[in-house]
Amino acid sequence: MFVLGKGGAGKTTATVALGMAARRMNKRTLLVEIGDSDALGGLCLNRTLSETPEKISLSLWGARVHPKSELEAYIRAHVGSGFIARKIIRSRLFSYLIDATPGLKEVMSLARIWRWEQAKNEQTGNRFDLIIVDAPATGHAMSLLRLPDQLIRMIRVGPIANQIRDLQRLLKNPQKTCLVLVTLPEELPVNEAMEFYSMAEDELEMPVALTLLNCVYPSFFTKNEINQIDFLKDGLEKNSVTPFSVILDAVLRLIRRRTIQQKYIDLIRAKTLGRMKEMPFYFTNDLTLDDIDALSHHLTHPAFISS
């Protein structure tokens, strides 16, 4: 499960919430973070995750994929002589080549995830029923997921080419891989989400299975109550600040924000093909794991974490 979305939409929160929902369904779940980011590690364990899966809590594991070390491990595995492997890794030619073919590093990350997935069929300690990847922001995630297709055009033969083909098969199998898009009920995130739906379907051939609409303001008031509140506003004296005017002002702002959000909720609901779920706004700038656990109850449904 790849969790994608624009920066700031709440991918990491959603990743953890999905993991917690899966845990409640007794699925052994691995949460994966890619590259230098330590958002996931910071949230779950207050530190950077290690590169081998480590337990976060019962049935919930976490790991970080570091492309460079993946690539080095890969070279060691594929070059017979350890001496030459070390020479290659250390050679500047190699680091130039890797820098200039950045896709190679990212595809190595995908390959790592693929190996964790494959390990499911083996009698090893690291078997996972579900792997949830906290993917980079949409633009970069698109290039990540597009990479196998692009690389196969550049690298046609050799062990890497074969591995890329295996990866392509895994990614494009809807029984195995799904995309979860996290977005916000605001103009640009919603527009981007709708653009992403068609890109995912046409370009990646990996349709979005679930859309999570994050930070949805609760509707505190009924329509009738909103009318009453509007009426109160008219009765208020201008320019006099009282405790009541402060409260009324804040309440009106909340109602206004919710009304704007509703416009985009309706818009995206009309356009989305897969499932959609709202995640409520928590009125804090620092969600705790308890908050996310509460959020995850919105996601506990077999359809979201299907077998």
Partner 1 sequence: MLSAAIRNPEGPEIIVCCGSGGVGKTTVSAAIGLMGAMSGKKTIVLTIDPARRLADSLGLKDFNFDAQRVDLKRFSCSFDAPEPELYAMMLDAKRTFDGLLFRYSSDEIRKNILNNRYYQHLSNNMAGSHEYMAMENLYEIYSQGRYDLIVLDTPPSRRALDFLDSPQRLINLLGHRFFMNLFKPYIQVGKWGVRLLNIVASPVLRGVGKIVGGQTLADFAEFMKLWDDALFDGFGYRATAMKKLLSGHKTLFLAVSTPQRLPMKEALYLYERLTENHMPFGGFIINRVEWTDGKKGGKTERVDGNSGLEKIVLDAQLKEKMITAYRQIQKLAETDAASIASLIRQIGSRVSVLQIPMADGEVANVDDLKQITNYFS
- Chain positions 215 to 254 lying near partner 1, rule: CB under 8 A, are 220-221, 225, 228-229, 232, 241-244, 246-251, 253-254
Identify which of residues 214 and 296 has a Cβ nearer to partner 1 in the complex: 214
Closest residue by Cα to residue 50 from 59, 58, 60, 38: 38
Tokens representing 172 are: 């494009």
Residues 149-208 that bind partner 1 (CB under 8 A): 150, 153-161, 186-189, 191-192
Q: Does 286 bind partner 1 (CB under 8 A)?
A: yes
Rounded Cα distance, 2 and 218, in Å: 27
Residue 8 CB neighbours (<10 A): 12
Q: Does 105 bind partner 1 (CB under 8 A)?
A: yes
Which member of 26, 50, 57, 91 binds partner 1 (CB under 8 A)?
91
Residues 43-82 that bind partner 1 (CB under 8 A): 74-75, 78-79
Answer for the pair 145, 204: CB distance below 8 angstroms, yes or no.
yes
Region from 47-55, 84-92, 118-126, 173-181 binding partner 1, contact rule CB under 8 A: 84-92
Which member of 24, 25, 39, 199 binds partner 1 (CB under 8 A)?
39
Region from 121-129, 146-154, 170-178, 295-303 binding partner 1, contact rule CB under 8 A: 146-154
Identify which of residues 58 and 100 has a Cβ nearer to partner 1 in the complex: 100
Rounded Cα distance, 207 and 199, in Å: 9
Which member of 50, 55, 57, 96 binds partner 1 (CB under 8 A)?
96
Residues 253-272 that bind partner 1 (CB under 8 A): 253-254, 256-257, 260
Region from 44-52, 120-128, 168-176, 284-292 binding partner 1, contact rule CB under 8 A: 284-292
Answer for the pair 58, 29: CB distance below 8 angstroms, yes or no.
no
Strands in 2-5's sheet, in edge-to-edge order, are: 54-57, 60-65, 29-34, 130-134, 2-5, 179-183, 208-216, 275-280
Cα angle: 304, vertex 265, 25; to 5 degrees:
15
Instruction: Give the single-character DSSP code of 305.
Output: T
Residues 107-136 that bind partner 1 (CB under 8 A): none
* Shortest reach from residue 140's CB to partner 1, in Å: 8
Cα angle: 135, vertex 140, 145; to 5 degrees:
70
Identify which of residues 130 and 193 has a Cβ nearer to partner 1 in the complex: 193
